[in-house]
Chains A and B, each alone.
Chain A
Amino acid sequence: MSKLQGLLFALATVVLVAVSTYYFVARDWLPELHSDRGAIDAAIWWSLLVTGIVFIATNLLLAYFTWRYSDTPGAKAAYWHDSPKLEISWTAVTAAILLVFLFNALNLWGSLVDPKTIPADAVTIEVTAQQFAWNFRYPGQDGQFGKTDVKLADPEMGNFLGTDTKDPATADDIVTPQGVLVVPEGRTVLLKIRSLDVIHSFFLPNFRVKQDAMPGLTIQTWFKPTKAGKYEIACAEHCGLGHYKMKGTMFVLAADAFQAAMASQEAFDAASGPLTQPTQ
């Protein structure tokens, strides 16, 4: 009986290793990358490689031991239970591998979050989340966003943010329709993310960007789109009933087309007509 169960456990473990490894490599699960954040993908691939090797090795050992040492008449177990040399070495090797991971992880994190890496020509865009839509605002020629006050918000009139029209800085601000984000190809985009109600999370699967929108805070994150096209924006933090529908579209335009569209609200409205048409 023991023999059969041991064989089954070993088999099950080998099948697990084979099937899971096959599916990890047979299909490229990551959404296509279209930003300068390839380093995240590299870290994912390194993680897959190293943890994959450990996964295969430890599981094969487990399979071998459960098959090889299953109880048979007359079998006898060994009596030993300590080996400082063995224990110290595997602890040290594990720690060393993990320290390499840690070193890379910290470097990578630093390169993604250090504000000093924001180039001077970055395009600043304000992202404001609310149940269940994304609002986008551009500061216009003056580089200043107009003041907002939620008391001025008037959704009926399309003023979701509570934009203060009396503030001179508001005049040249550009507001896109809810859920429509337009960014230039090949230029760094600096997002200033905030929320009007609950916590949301701004997620661009194809760009390896995810940042919570936290009420009370304005959080910035930046990335460089590398390919013109139309991409999905998702909400990654449970924000209520309509969470699953809180999606948006990000249009990456060629740099000059973007420049032209962002000259003024009128220019944008004219340029964006084709963008917001349903495309099949």
Chain B
Amino acid sequence: MTHVAEAQAGHAHDAHDHAPQAFIWKYVFSKDHKVIGVQYYVTAMLMAVVAGLLAMLIRVQIAWPPATQEPQTQQVESLRLSPPPAPIRAATDATGSVLTKGYAKMDKGYQMKPEFYAMLFTMHGTIMVFFVLSTAPVSGFGNMLIPLQVGARDMAFPFLNGLSFWTFLPGCVVILLSFFVEAGAAAAGWTSYPPLSALKSAVPGSQMGQTLWIIAMVFFIASFTMGGLNFVTTILNLRTKGLSLFRMSTTMWAMFLVAILGLLAFPALIAGSLLLLFDRHFGTSFYLPAGIILSGKVMPNSGGSPLLWQHLFWFLGHPEVYILMLPALGFTSDIIAAFSRKAIFGYKAMIGAMIAISGLSFVVWGHHMFVSGMSPYLGMAFAVGTILIAVPSAVKVFNWLATLWQSRIQFHTAMLWALGVVSLFISGGLSGVWLGQSAVDIHLHDTMFVVAHFHLIMAGAALFGVFGATAYWFPKMFGRMMNETLGKWHFWFTFITYYGTFFPMHYVGISGQMRRVYNPYEYDFLKPVQDINVFITYCALILGVSQVIFFINFFWSAFKGRKAEGNPWNAAGLEWTTPSPPPHGNWPGEIPEVHRWPYDYSVPDAPQDFVLQTDPSPIGALKPGGGH
């Protein structure tokens, strides 16, 4: 531990007392982790507005698709030479981007075009996964919290940190601009499976839009990698004296693991994306086999395999799922401990579970490919890992429940969100046991059941985690408190409509309703579930609109909220020993020494119902971490 303390001491000298004064250096090109964290956070929230609106349009279409003209039933005389079907092509009147021409005038007023719909679900997924739910919890709260929770003046590489944000932002700009190019944004699904994404004539979005998608992804990954290096280095090298790894908060453990996952997994996607770029523009055939004929034109490619992309994509894609989720699980443990006034139960098991989930996340990617045509033996191997990952996940739920048992729950807004995460983690996690069984997945693959599953466990848990973290750490972000009343209204609207939106998708999924279908009711077997889809859409629209409460609360509280004390929640973690907001350099004087874990709540014989992490008195759990 001594080398850490020395590094910390050395670091303290140069970082201290050099707060930049000019607005541009203080708030724009800042190197202060707190400012960068807020920059990431606010950018992610604005991206969420875009992606959320796309989702609402998707839902409107699924509930009330236009009655498409029935294709004339072919009167087949000679079956061998049956007449060719009327080709389905992009509407030809589009001279601008699909965004401006997304709706066509049809018999009954304006109706959405299929190419616009494909763009909606592609961009909704892309923006939400990468630019919102990876960014807000990891880059946003990671940057904000790591130095505060490990006791450092700033991140290990402040310049790299600023650079990573300014690499991220162009990615956002590119992905947003792609809506406005000719033929519109990418439309091959957020997974961008080739050949659909590789051949420009396969779908309109595979023209310029898909290229911009790749470029945005390269920016994003470069930025995320810089962030990851910074996270790992800071957590390993800049912990304050006394803060052993097993005294860190679960949030810090989550950030540590997430950074490692990102560093190991993202390079696969950046490599894969560049190969896709080559296939698209330089005539290579990494993903394109021989014998493709599209719109009557035989493609010159040969030798590639679309399965290669799926392996590369999901080698990133599955750890990415946990990159979204782990921070939320970390926040939840911190928040539940603080507001149940009780030590987190089974701390080491919680950390162990997160490590196990992270490790297993690298050997389960094939469960996205059970019906892809890869070797059935691989299907077996990936089913094993997938089912096993349910064990550490269940451990987390049990430990949260055990923490709540005999506790004293204070229902602040942050606590409601944390309980929401637990609820969603149960609901969304259990359906994973269904989907992990490869044979069951044959029926459920690519149906709304999968959409229900990942929106509950991944998107929902991550989103609720971010909302909880926002309410909890708002004092450290802005030195003010969020409004509790608005916060609770926001929670209840979101909690109820989130379930209303995503739980019924299980039912329509079991009925066989496929994802990404512009008009499900083209199929007779899906006509009976339209009423459920209408219900889902109503819930989704209320869900979307009720986020306005959050934005009002967020911006109003940031400027006008009640001023916060240093430790408004009577929480025990290290970050609560500094003023709100923390000054440049985080602690006005010396960085405090840590003597215990951050979960000493309701310790018998203690003067208060919490013991700060920096308290040297020999009460409570000096232990986790081996202590003294």
Contact = CB atoms under 8 A, between A and B. Distances in A.
B373 interface: yes
A77 B340 contact: yes
Contacts of A164: none
A120 interface: no
Interface in A24-82: 24, 27, 29-31, 39-40, 43-44, 47-48, 50-51, 54-55, 58-59, 61-62, 65-66, 69-71, 75-82
A87 B89 contact: no
Interface in A70-122: 70-71, 75-83, 86-87, 90-91, 94-95, 98, 101-102, 104-106, 108-110, 112-114
Contact of B609 (A62, A77, A197): A77
A170 B608 CA distance: 87
A55 B525 CA distance: 29
A245 B68 CA distance: 10
A205 B528 CA distance: 14
Contacts of B307: 214, 217
A257 interface: no
B546 to A, nearest CB: 15
Interface in A150-167: 150-151, 153, 155-158, 160, 162
A259 interface: no
Contacts of A240: 118, 196, 202-203
Nearest to A219: B373
B380 A30 contact: no
Residue among A6, A105, A175, A206 with most chain B CB within 10 A = A105
Contact of A197 (B76, B294, B371, B519): B294
B402 interface: yes
B283 interface: no
B71 A245 contact: yes
A108 B439 contact: yes
Interface residues of B, number: 132
Interface stretch (B136-144, B272-280, B386-394): B386-394
B439 A40 contact: yes
Interface string A255-275: 000000000010011001100
Nearest to B449: A29
B293 A197 contact: yes
A145 to B, nearest CB: 15
Interface in B408-424: 408-411, 416, 419, 422-423
B440 A196 contact: no
Nearest to B492: A8
Contact of B511 (A30, A105, A109): A30
Nearest to A19: B503
A164 B193 CA distance: 31
Contacts of B615: none
Nearest to A239: B196
B292 A215 contact: yes
Interface string B142-177: 000000000000000000000000000000000000
Nearest to A51: B430
Given A43-B437, A199-B193, A208-B442, A151 B402 contact: no
Nearest to A2: B411
Contacts of A243: 114, 118, 516-518
Contact of B503 (A20, A197, A208, A268): A20
B384 interface: yes
A1 B291 contact: no
Interface of A: 1-2, 5-6, 8-9, 12-13, 16, 20, 23-24, 27, 29-31, 39-40, 43-44, 47-48, 50-51, 54-55, 58-59, 61-62, 65-66, 69-71, 75-83, 86-87, 90-91, 94-95, 98, 101-102, 104-106, 108-110, 112-114, 130-133, 150-151, 153, 155-158, 160, 162, 175-178, 193, 196-199, 201, 203, 205-206, 208-212, 214-217, 219, 232, 234-245, 247, 265, 268-269, 272-273, 276-278
14 contacts: A5-B411, A16-B427, A16-B499, A24-B507, A58-B426, A78-B602, A87-B346, A132-B85, A150-B293, A198-B193, A201-B371, A210-B443, A240-B118, A241-B118
| Nearest 7 pairs of A and B residues by beta carbon | A216-B289, A242-B88, A5-B411, A105-B437, A81-B343, A205-B512, A113-B376
Given A44-B434, A87-B399, A150-B298, 17 more contacts: A2-B411, A23-B504, A29-B510, A43-B437, A65-B409, A66-B419, A69-B406, A70-B409, A90-B398, A101-B437, A105-B440, A106-B380, A131-B295, A198-B195, A209-B442, A210-B446, A268-B79
